[in-house]
Amino acid sequence: QVQLIESGGGMVQAGGSMTLSCAASGRRFSNLGMGWFRQAPGKEREFVAAISRSGRFTDFADSVKGRFSISRDNVKNTMSLQMNRLEPEDTAVYYCAANANAILSGTYSDMGVYESWGQGTQVSVSS
């Protein structure tokens, strides 16, 4: 069982930046494929970004490409989401997710491949 704890959410003005972190425990972190998802009020949860076990492969939703970056530290057992040029449309609860099995290429954006989820952290972007 993997435990995930997100941190770093809050309020920011449009155009600003924010970094989210996810701390993992319970399994060897370097064996986990990791992802970020978000859910805005009244909307379904959607994919934001993902990173492979080694960190060599990353994937992003079209809506955040060029603005967000994802990284991981397999020594500190953490994953980060750097969010730049934030927009009001980025307002949502952001969730960290982990997969302990192999993630097939092209499926990192599929919520169904992730077995473990954090409780989420709120990000609010004002215009």
What's the pLDDT at 105?
80
* Structure confidence by residue, pLDDT tens digits, 32-42: 999 999 999 99
Q: For Cα atoms 100, 34, 102, give the angle at the middle one, nearest 5 degrees.
A: 40
State how far the Cα of 56 lies from the Cα of 9, in Å rounded to an integer.
26
Specify the amino acid at residue 24: A
Residue 121 pLDDT > 90, yes or no? Answer: yes
Model confidence at 106, pLDDT cuts 50, 70, 90, reads confident
Residue 62 pLDDT > 90, yes or no? Answer: yes
Beta strand segments in the chain, E: 3-7, 10-13, 18-25, 33-39, 46-51, 58-60, 68-73, 78-83, 92-99, 116-117, 121-126
Model confidence at 78, pLDDT cuts 50, 70, 90, reads very high
Between 102 and 8, where is the model more confident?
Answer: 8
Looking at every residue in the chain, the average pLDDT score rounds to 96
Task: Give Cβ neighbours of residue 93 (< 8 Å, ≥ 6 apart).
Answer: 38, 39, 40, 120, 121, 122, 123
Structure tokens at 106: 């092209």
